[in-house]
């Protein structure tokens, strides 16, 4: 994959457009970047032009695996993780000092890659690895587009904001939070959502997951803690499960590691409740159809989840991950709750508080629909196309 990283694509009238994409560490940074790449590729192909992509990230990382699976060339640079703390003294911990010392090497590596590849544009979607690559883009006088998925700029994107040609943000609410000197460069695009998420069909979920015993007259709740599941959400739902099943059908995606424990804990459900309950470790290609079937979603409030649920217009009860960087999940959830577009369980949620949050949504279809409507006003299903517009707008015209 790395053997031809330094090969500079041929210049000429019909040459491919060159893109360096950087960002990763988590799915929240990686998958919006991938969706943008796919969308740009499709846009160019429709115009008879090719796309030449180099993904710069961290070795043995999620982004390296995603790039390999997509057939995208990948190059690794070293980077350092800055561990946040409310105590300024702790920012200078031995681990932080050691990692910060790696940043100049990462910048040097990234500058060599940018200089050799000569991209028409660089897209940075956040994560620590985006910092050296974004700095290298500025040093090499390459257009840099920074994309932020959350309401508040993450640490990496904050450090790149003043170097960026354009800053693409996911929410209007981000604009006043930007440094004043960077606001003129900002544009609201939304957070790119995988197109397949928007094409689900409820009946296909019934067939694929064999949910024929579900009561279609009752609402359906989809519980998810992400691909690995959430022990916190699993425990909360388990405590109220008999009540929940008396009100609704439930698809509970608990994470593969939690499946056996929950299966044992729910084995004694009455037959009529068990008929309306699907427990699964993982939801794969059926996810768009499951989301189409769901009337209420109980989930974390990461940027990717919020982008998908608002694009679909789903009533959601968010249980933020307390340890998310900068407490961004709580901020995301509170922001939507304040707008009437979700219900947020902030602080230390309990089974009772979860039941109190879900009950009105299940009992009142109008209330459910109102929240779903407000959620949809925040959704931007065309976010990837908007971001591609920004990428193409910053590429200088050939001389």
Domain locations in the chain?
17-192+381-393, 195-378
Q: What is the pLDDT of residue 154?
A: 84
Q: DSSP H helical segments within 140-190, as ranges?
A: 155-160
CATH 3.40.50.2000 fits 195-378, yes or no: yes
Q: What is the pLDDT of residue 101?
A: 66
Q: Which two tokens stand for residue 308?
A: 């998908």
> What is the Cα–Cα distance from 63 to 171, expressed in whole angstroms?
25
Reading the chain (399 residues) residue by residue, the pLDDT tens digits are: 343 444 444 455 568 999 999 998 888 899 999 999 999 999 999 999 999 999 999 999 999 999 999 999 999 999 866 545 455 555 455 655 556 666 789 999 999 999 999 999 999 999 999 999 999 999 999 999 999 998 888 888 888 999 999 999 998 989 998 989 999 999 999 999 999 999 999 999 999 999 999 999 999 999 999 888 899 999 999 999 999 999 999 999 999 999 999 999 999 999 999 999 999 999 999 999 999 999 999 999 999 999 999 999 999 999 999 877 668 899 989 999 999 999 999 989 999 999 999 999 999 999 999 999 999 999 999 999 999 999 999 999 875
Beta bridge partners of 167: 146, 186
One CATH from 3.50.50.60, 3.40.50.2000, 3.40.1440.10, 3.40.190.10 for 17-192+381-393: 3.40.50.2000
Helix (H) or strand (E) holding 310: helix 303-312
Same fold, 17-192+381-393 and 195-378: yes
Helix (H) or strand (E) holding 316: strand 315-318
Q: What is the pLDDT of residue 83?
A: 47
Q: DSSP H helical segments within the chain, as ranges?
A: 27-46, 62-70, 94-100, 103-117, 130-139, 155-160, 202-208, 231-247, 259-265, 271-274, 287-293, 303-312, 328-338, 351-363, 365-378, 383-393
Q: What is the pLDDT of residue 151?
A: 84
Q: What is the pLDDT of residue 226?
A: 86
């Amino acid at each position: 994959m790395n053997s031809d990283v330094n090969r500079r694509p041929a210049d000429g009238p019909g040459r491919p457009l060159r893109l360096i994409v950087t960002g990763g560490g988590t799915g929240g940074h990686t998958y919006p970047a991938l969706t943008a790449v796919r969308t740009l590729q499709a846009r160019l192909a429709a115009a008879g032009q090719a796309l030449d992509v180099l993904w710069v990230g961290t070795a043995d990382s999620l982004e390296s695996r995603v790039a390999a699976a997509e057939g995208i060339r990948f190059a690794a640079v070293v980077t350092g993780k800055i561990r946040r703390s409310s105590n300024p003294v702790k920012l200078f911990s031995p681990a932080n000092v050691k990692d910060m010392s790696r940043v100049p090497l990462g910048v040097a590596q990234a500058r060599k890659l940018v200089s050799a590849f000569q991209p028409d544009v660089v897209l940075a979607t956040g994560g620590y690895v985006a910092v050296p690559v974004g700095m290298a883009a500025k040093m090499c006088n390459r257009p840099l587009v920074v994309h932020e998925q959350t309401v508040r700029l993450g640490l990496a994107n904050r450090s790149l904001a003043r170097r960026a040609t354009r800053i693409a943000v996911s929410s209007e609410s981000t604009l006043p939070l930007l440094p004043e000197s960077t606001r003129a460069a900002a544009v609201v695009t939304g957070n790119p959502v995988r197109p397949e998420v928007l094409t689900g069909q409820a009946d296909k979920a019934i067939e694929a997951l064999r949910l024929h015993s579900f009561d279609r007259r009752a609402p359906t709740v989809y519980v998810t803690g992400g691909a690995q599941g959430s022990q916190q959400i699993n425990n909360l739902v388990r405590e109220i499960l008999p009540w929940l099943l008396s009100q609704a059908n439930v698809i509970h995606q608990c994470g593969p590691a939690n499946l056996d424990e929950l299966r044992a804990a729910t084995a004694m459900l009455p037959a009529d409740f068990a008929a309306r309950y699907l427990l699964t470790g993982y939801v794969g290609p059926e996810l768009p159809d499951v989301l189409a079937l769901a009337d209420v979603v109980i989930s974390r409030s990461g940027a990717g989840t919020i982008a998908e649920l608002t694009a679909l217009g789903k009533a959601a009860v968010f249980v933020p991950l307390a340890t998310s960087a900068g407490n961004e999940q709580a901020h995301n959830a509170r922001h939507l709750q304040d707008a009437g577009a979700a219900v947020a369980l902030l602080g230390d949620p309990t089974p009772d508080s979860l039941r109190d949050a879900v009950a009105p949504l299940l009992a009142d279809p109008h209330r459910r629909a109102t929240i779903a409507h407000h959620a949809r006003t925040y959704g931007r299903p065309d976010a990837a196309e908007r971001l591609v517009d920004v990428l193409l707008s910053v590429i200088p015209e050939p001389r």
